[in-house]
Amino acid sequence: MFYLHTKIELIEVGYEISDNKNYKRSLSEKNQMLKAEFLNLKSPDRIERLALKRGLIYPSQKDILYSGNKRDLSANSGSDE
């Protein structure tokens, strides 16, 4: 009787291991799909395309405002004041 019970337990554990392996494989596949989707969504080309589609434009030089120390600004602009 004990042998039969042990054998049944072993079979049930075997099925559980198999189910868990399948579940792990499924999660790994989903993880790979999500990683690929994430890389696509954060792509600079995609973001630029969406921004332009929504009417965003590149700023002209006069639209750019700098903040900080006056010496830092002259060093960044390449002109000597």
Q: pLDDT (tens digit, 9 = 90+) per residue, 18-74?
A: 999 999 999 999 999 999 999 999 999 999 999 999 999 999 999 999 888 766 555
Residue 81 pLDDT: 42
Residue 3 pLDDT: 84
Instruction: List, in order, residues 6 or more apart from 80 with CB less than 8 Å away.
Output: 74
Looking at per-residue confidence, does 1 or 49 come out higher? 49
Average pLDDT, the chain: 89
Residue 4 pLDDT: 87
Taking 60 as the threshold, does the pLDDT of residue 75 lie above it? no
Q: What is the pTM of this model?
A: 0.57
